[in-house]
Amino acid sequence: MSNDKPSYLHFRSEDYAWKSDIDYRLQPKKYKVGKGEQGVLICEPYKTEIGKFWRFKNTEMAIESSEKIFSMFTDYLDSNDFVGADMARKYLQMGFTRARRYFNYKGGKKYDKEKDYRKLERGTGDPEKAKAASIFYKKWKEAEDNRKYSQLKTQWKMAHG
């Protein structure tokens, strides 16, 4: 980003591939893999199923949360539910990225809205969040390295995007 401002300032929901009014379990072919964590806070019913377990406040919560979400990931795979597995993988990734954000920036805020979205100072956050991030990172990578998941993801992207 050349102007170094958050991308969400120009977000257009009508252009976004994921929609909150779609039940992706009933209409899985409408699901797109996307990049990173895209769609993670929109795609139902997975957002509700997985999101209630997503916590990274401290090491203990991160361990419990990442293990539960990883268990859901494997359950989705066992049911051949690629969308559910991909969403669980996204929550693991988001556990890492959000915990890192809270480690890097006090209160997890990267931009100062009051000062034309100027980036705030790094290194002001909670050191406990670095440990939580590491826990989620390991589970995220374990999910991505899962052979069945990798095969399903490749097939899905070829068939549906």
Could you tell me if residue 95 is inside a domain?
Answer: yes
CA distance 107 to 93: 19
135-160 tens-digit pLDDT = 999 999 999 999 999 999 999 999 99
pLDDT given at position 110: 81
Q: For the segment 64-122, what is each residue's pLDDT rounded down to a tens digit?
A: 999 999 999 999 999 999 999 999 999 999 999 999 998 988 888 888 788 888 887 78
User: With 0-12 CB in 10 A as exposed, 13-18 as middle and 19+ as buried, what is 113?
Assistant: exposed
Coil, strand or helix at 119: strand
Crossing angle for the helix pair 147-160 and 59-78, to the nearest 10 degrees:
70
By CB atoms closer than 10 A (0-12, 13-18, 19+), residue 159 is: exposed
Does 157 reside within a domain? yes
Position 97 in a domain: yes
Q: What is the pLDDT of residue 11?
A: 65
pLDDT band at 3 (very low <50, low <70, confident <90, very high): low
pTM of the model: 0.88
| Maximum C-alpha span of the chain | 49
Q: In this structure, is residue 51 part of a structural domain?
A: yes
- Asked, for residue 143, whether it belongs to a domain, the answer is yes
Asked if the structure places residue 24 within a domain, the reply is no
Count of domains in the chain?
A: 1
Say whether pLDDT at 2 is over 50.
no
Please report the pLDDT score of residue 82 as a whole number. Answer: 97
- Residue 119 counted as domain residue: no
Q: According to the model, what pLDDT value does residue 1 have?
A: 39
Residues 6-60 pLDDT 10s: 666 676 777 778 889 999 999 999 999 988 899 899 999 999 999 999 999 999 9
| Contact assessment for residue 95 and residue 132, using Cβ atoms and an 8 Å cutoff | yes
Domain of residue 68: give its range.
41-108+127-161
Tell how far CA 49 is from the center of its chain. Answer: 14
- Whether 15 maps to a domain, the answer reads no
Partner residues linked to 111 by β-bridges: 119
